[in-house]
Protein backbone atom coordinates (compact mmCIF):
# COMPACT_ATOMS: atom_id res chain seq x y z
CA UNK A 1 0.00 0.00 0.00
CA UNK A 2 2.87 2.37 0.63
CA UNK A 3 4.18 1.89 -2.92
CA UNK A 4 1.02 3.29 -4.51
CA UNK A 5 1.85 6.71 -3.15
CA UNK A 6 5.16 6.77 -5.07
CA UNK A 7 3.62 6.02 -8.47
CA UNK A 8 3.35 8.95 -10.87
CA UNK A 9 -0.13 10.23 -11.58
CA UNK A 10 -0.45 10.44 -15.36
CA UNK A 11 -4.01 11.69 -15.12
CA UNK A 12 -2.87 14.92 -13.47
CA UNK A 13 -3.31 17.80 -15.96
CA UNK A 14 -1.33 20.21 -13.79
CA UNK A 15 1.99 18.88 -15.11
CA UNK A 16 3.22 21.55 -17.57
CA UNK A 17 5.86 19.29 -19.12
CA UNK A 18 3.35 16.53 -19.83
CA UNK A 19 0.82 18.99 -21.16
CA UNK A 20 3.43 20.62 -23.40
CA UNK A 21 4.42 17.23 -24.81
CA UNK A 22 0.76 16.43 -25.46
CA UNK A 23 0.29 19.70 -27.34
CA UNK A 24 3.51 19.13 -29.28
CA UNK A 25 2.42 15.63 -30.30
CA UNK A 26 -1.06 16.82 -31.28
CA UNK A 27 0.15 19.67 -33.47
CA UNK A 28 2.90 17.59 -35.05
CA UNK A 29 0.33 14.96 -35.92
CA UNK A 30 -1.87 17.61 -37.50
CA UNK A 31 1.02 18.87 -39.63
CA UNK A 32 1.83 15.39 -40.92
CA UNK A 33 -1.85 14.75 -41.60
CA UNK A 34 -2.05 17.97 -43.64
CA UNK A 35 1.04 16.99 -45.62
CA UNK A 36 -0.41 13.56 -46.33
CA UNK A 37 -3.76 14.94 -47.53
CA UNK A 38 -2.21 17.61 -49.76
CA UNK A 39 0.53 15.30 -51.07
CA UNK A 40 -1.90 12.47 -51.73
CA UNK A 41 -4.33 14.65 -53.61
CA UNK A 42 -1.50 16.20 -55.67
CA UNK A 43 -0.16 12.75 -56.54
CA UNK A 44 -3.64 11.55 -57.50
CA UNK A 45 -4.16 14.61 -59.72
CA UNK A 46 -0.75 14.10 -61.32
CA UNK A 47 -1.52 10.47 -62.11
CA UNK A 48 -4.91 11.41 -63.60
CA UNK A 49 -3.20 14.00 -65.79
CA UNK A 50 -0.68 11.38 -66.90
CA UNK A 51 -3.42 8.86 -67.63
CA UNK A 52 -5.38 11.26 -69.84
CA UNK A 53 -2.19 12.79 -71.30
CA UNK A 54 -3.17 16.39 -70.59
CA UNK A 55 -0.84 19.04 -71.94
CA UNK A 56 -1.82 21.47 -69.16
CA UNK A 57 -1.98 19.77 -65.79
CA UNK A 58 -5.23 21.31 -64.63
CA UNK A 59 -6.34 18.21 -62.72
CA UNK A 60 -3.16 18.39 -60.62
CA UNK A 61 -3.79 22.06 -59.84
CA UNK A 62 -7.43 21.41 -58.98
CA UNK A 63 -6.52 18.41 -56.81
CA UNK A 64 -3.92 20.50 -54.92
CA UNK A 65 -6.48 23.21 -54.17
CA UNK A 66 -9.01 20.59 -53.11
CA UNK A 67 -6.39 18.93 -50.90
CA UNK A 68 -5.56 22.23 -49.19
CA UNK A 69 -9.25 22.89 -48.54
CA UNK A 70 -9.78 19.37 -47.18
CA UNK A 71 -6.73 19.58 -44.95
CA UNK A 72 -7.79 22.95 -43.51
CA UNK A 73 -11.29 21.59 -42.87
CA UNK A 74 -9.86 18.49 -41.18
CA UNK A 75 -7.51 20.59 -39.05
CA UNK A 76 -10.28 22.90 -37.87
CA UNK A 77 -12.53 19.93 -37.14
CA UNK A 78 -9.78 18.13 -35.22
CA UNK A 79 -8.58 21.11 -33.15
CA UNK A 80 -12.04 22.40 -32.25
CA UNK A 81 -12.58 22.02 -28.48
Q: Model confidence over 26-52: pLDDT tens digits?
A: 889 999 999 999 999 999 999 999 999
- Asked whether residue 10 carries a pLDDT value surpassing 60, the answer given is no
Using a cut of 0.95, tell me whether the model's pTM lies above it: no
On whether residue 6 sits in a domain, the answer given is: no
12 within domain boundaries: no
% of the chain residues with pLDDT over 70: 80
Mean pLDDT, all residues of the chain? 86
- Which letter does DSSP use for residue 55 in this model? S
Its domain, for residue 64, covers 32-81
CA 3 to chain CA centroid, Å, is 40
Domain total in the chain: 1
How many CB atoms are located within 10 Å of the residue 77 CB?
8
Question: In degrees rounded to 5, what are phi and psi of residue 12?
Answer: -75, 115
Amino acid sequence: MGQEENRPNFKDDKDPAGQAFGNYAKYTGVAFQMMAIIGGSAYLGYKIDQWYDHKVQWVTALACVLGVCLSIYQTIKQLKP
